[in-house]
């Protein structure tokens, strides 16, 4: 059995589907379905069972067996970077992760968990080393502290332990995330509603829409997760991004080009009035990463991962295509 916490969430549900594609269906999905809309993410998945997060944690803390799981993918967390309740964040993200980590260690179960690129804060070097890490908010601190806990307590487990620092993930199945969904998701919705997309104006020395992030497509994130399942000899904390920093303008342009079947530039779309810049939110000042770019040297060397990652143009186009098809529509041919 493979256990996937957060298995009805964005990355978790896609991971379950990736396991299914490899012929694996002996899967226990763990989640909190207080938000019933997440059921849409797993209704087509082939799983053995579902368990509520609280019940799962109770059994973990009591040491109850789950039939000898071959691995636990820990994707469950509060992913709201704007959440200000530090006690809640630390309970859900930190203490819960510690319980799973010790359970896996006691039972020699491979443990592959979701970390985050938010642990690099406002820095400009994105290597998996302590000197480059800082937290700009409670969410980032919960992720950073757990990474530190794993490093300090490596003797807890003799089985595989892998932490994956996700950069800006986008793709199918994020509709329940609300404001925390990707900009690609929001740009698509804005276009459907108003015929244009809105980006933040310049900040931190960056021009309008030119803040840079490492945007990584969900299919690539799933492939990295499955790589480590298939290579239990590899362990450690690894970045998961494309290794390329692209602008929010690039994302908006990819969305518009795909939806309208064009090959235009950002400047073209601005001139057409279909890209609009809005004032940078005061609430995000000092808590915002204007630049991220994953250093993938550790993943490709120690993790021995050699697959390529989709660019924004490739990944966003595929994502938009899926959303249009789900809505029963058809994209125009490129003109």
Average pLDDT over residues 51-69: 92
**Does residue 231 sit in the same domain as residue 251?**
no
**Does residue 203 sit in the same domain as residue 267?**
yes
Alpha helical stretches, state H, the chain:
10-21, 39-42, 53-61, 86-89, 96-107, 138-152, 183-194, 218-230, 248-260, 266-271, 297-301, 312-326
Average pLDDT over residues 122-133: 95
Report whether pLDDT(322) > 70: yes
Average pLDDT over residues 32-44: 94
Task: Note the pLDDT tens digit of each residue in 24-37.
Answer: 999 999 999 998 98
**Does residue 74 sit in the same domain as residue 190?**
no
Q: Domain tally for the chain?
A: 2
Q: Structure tokens of 305?
A: 């991962």
Q: Considering only residues 180 and 266, tell me which one the structure prediction assigns the higher pLDDT.
A: 266
In a domain, 331, yes or no: no
Report whether pLDDT(332) > 70: no
**Does residue 53 sit in the same domain as residue 101?**
yes
Of 240, 255, 281, the residue at which a domain comes to its end is: 240
How many C-beta atoms surround the C-beta of residue 148 within 10 A? Answer: 13
pLDDT bin (cut points 50, 70, 90) of residue 79 is confident
Report whether pLDDT(333) > 60: no
| pLDDT score, position 61 | 92
Average pLDDT over residues 72-98: 92
In a domain, 17, yes or no: yes
**Does residue 83 sit in the same domain as residue 205?**
no
Active site residues: 139, 177
Q: Which long-range contacts (CB under 8 A, 24 or more apart) does 323-331 make?
A: 323/172, 323/188, 324/259, 331/258, 331/259, 331/261
| pLDDT score, position 130 | 96
| pLDDT score, position 326 | 86
CB burial of residue 11 (10 Å; 0-12, 13-18, 19+): buried
How many C-beta atoms surround the C-beta of residue 52 within 10 A? Answer: 13
Give the domain CATH number at 178: 3.90.25.10
**Does residue 122 sit in the same domain as residue 195?**
no
Task: Note the pLDDT tens digit of each residue in 219-249.
Answer: 999 999 999 999 999 999 999 999 999 999 9
**Does residue 187 sit in the same domain as residue 258?**
yes
Give the domain CATH number at 79: 3.40.50.720
**Does residue 207 sit in the same domain as residue 127?**
no
In a domain, 329, yes or no: no
Rounded-to-integer distance, Cα 120 and Cα 109, Å: 29
Average pLDDT over residues 189-217: 94
User: What are 50's strand-pairing partners?
Assistant: 29
| pLDDT score, position 50 | 97
In a domain, 205, yes or no: yes
Q: Is 172:14 a contact under the CB 8 Å cutoff?
A: yes
Rounded-to-integer distance, Cα 144 and Cα 140, Å: 6
Report whether pLDDT(330) > 90: no
Q: Residue 260 contacts by C-beta under 8 Å, 6 or more apart in sequence?
A: 332
Rounded-to-integer distance, Cα 249 and Cα 210, Å: 6
**Does residue 164 sit in the same domain as residue 43?**
yes
Full domain range(s) for residue 191: 171-213+245-293+310-324
**Does residue 155 sit in the same domain as residue 69?**
yes
| pLDDT score, position 335 | 40
In a domain, 302, yes or no: no
| pLDDT score, position 289 | 83
Report whether pLDDT(43) > 70: yes
In a domain, 81, yes or no: yes
**Does residue 135 sit in the same domain as residue 275?**
no
**Does residue 209 sit in the same domain as residue 221?**
no
Report whether pLDDT(82) > 90: no
State what percent of residues in the chain have pLDDT above 70: 98
In a domain, 298, yes or no: no
In a domain, 330, yes or no: no
Task: Note the pLDDT tens digit of each residue in 275-294.
Answer: 999 998 887 777 788 899 99
User: What are 326's strand-pairing partners?
Assistant: none
| pLDDT score, position 286 | 74
Please count the CA atoms within 13 angstroms of the CA of 261 that sit on its side-chain side: 7
Q: Is 170:322 a contact under the CB 8 Å cutoff?
A: no
């Amino acid at each position: 059995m493979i256990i996937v916490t957060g298995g009805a969430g964005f990355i978790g549900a896609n991971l379950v589907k990736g396991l299914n594609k490899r012929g694996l269906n002996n899967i226990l999905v763990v989640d909190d379905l207080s938000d019933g809309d997440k059921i849409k993410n797993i209704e087509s998945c082939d799983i053995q069972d579902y368990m509520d997060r609280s019940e799962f944690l109770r059994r973990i803390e009591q040491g109850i067996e789950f039939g000898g799981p071959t691995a636990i993918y820990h994707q469950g967390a509060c992913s709201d970077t704007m959440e200000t309740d530090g006690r809640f964040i630390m309970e859900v993200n930190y203490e819960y992760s510690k319980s799973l980590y010790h359970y896996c260690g006691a039972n020699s179960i491979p443990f592959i968990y979701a970390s985050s690129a938010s642990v690099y804060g406002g820095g400009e070097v994105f290597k998996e080393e302590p000197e480059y890490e800082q937290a700009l908010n409670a969410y980032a601190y919960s992720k950073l502290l757990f990474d530190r806990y794993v490093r300090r307590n490596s003797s807890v487990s003799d089985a595989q332990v892998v932490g994956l620092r996700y950069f800006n993930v986008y793709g199918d199945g994020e509709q329940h995330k609300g404001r925390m969904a990707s900009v690609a998701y929001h740009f698509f919705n804005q276009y459907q509603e108003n015929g244009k997309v809105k980006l933040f104006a310049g900040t931190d020395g960056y021009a309008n829409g030119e803040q840079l992030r490492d945007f990584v497509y969900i299919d690539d994130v799933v492939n990295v997760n499955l790589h480590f399942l298939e290579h239990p000899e590899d362990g450690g904390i690894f970045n998961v991004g494309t290794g390329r920093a692209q602008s929010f303008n690039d994302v908006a342009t990819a969305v518009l080009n795909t939806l309208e079947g064009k090959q235009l530039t950002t400047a073209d779309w601005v001139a057409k009035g279909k890209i609009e810049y809005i004032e940078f939110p005061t609430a995000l000042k000092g808590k915002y990463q204007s630049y991220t770019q994953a250093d993938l040297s550790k993943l490709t060397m120690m993790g021995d991962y050699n697959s390529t990652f989709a660019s924004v143009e490739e990944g966003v186009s595929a994502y938009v295509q899926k959303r249009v098809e789900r809505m029963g529509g058809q994209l125009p041919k490129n003109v």
